[in-house]
Amino acid sequence: MTTRKPVHLAVYDTFADWETGHATAHLAQAGFEVRTVGPTREPVTSMGGLRVLPDLALDELRPEDSSLLILVGAALWDTGDSLAPFARAARVFLDAGVPVAAICGATAGLAREGLLDDRAHTSAAPFYLAATGYAGGERYADVDAVTDGGLVTAGPTEPVAFAREIFRLLGAYDDRATDAWYRLFHDSDPQAYAELEEALAR
Determine the pLDDT at residue 84: 98
Question: For residue 59, what are the contacts with CB-CB under 8 A and spacing of at least 6?
Answer: none
Determine the pLDDT at residue 1: 38
Give the rounded distance of the alpha carbon of 52 from its chain centre. Answer: 18
pLDDT tens profile 49-95: 999 999 999 999 999 999 999 999 999 999 999 999 999 999 999 99
Whole-number Cα distances in Å, 76 to 14, 85, 160: 7, 12, 23
Q: Which residues are catalytically annotated?
A: 104
Residue 45 phi/psi, 5° resolution?
-125, 125
**Below-70 pLDDT ranges, the chain:** 1-2
Whole-number Cα distances in Å, 137 to 90, 117, 123, 126, 149: 20, 7, 11, 7, 18
pTM for this entry: 0.96
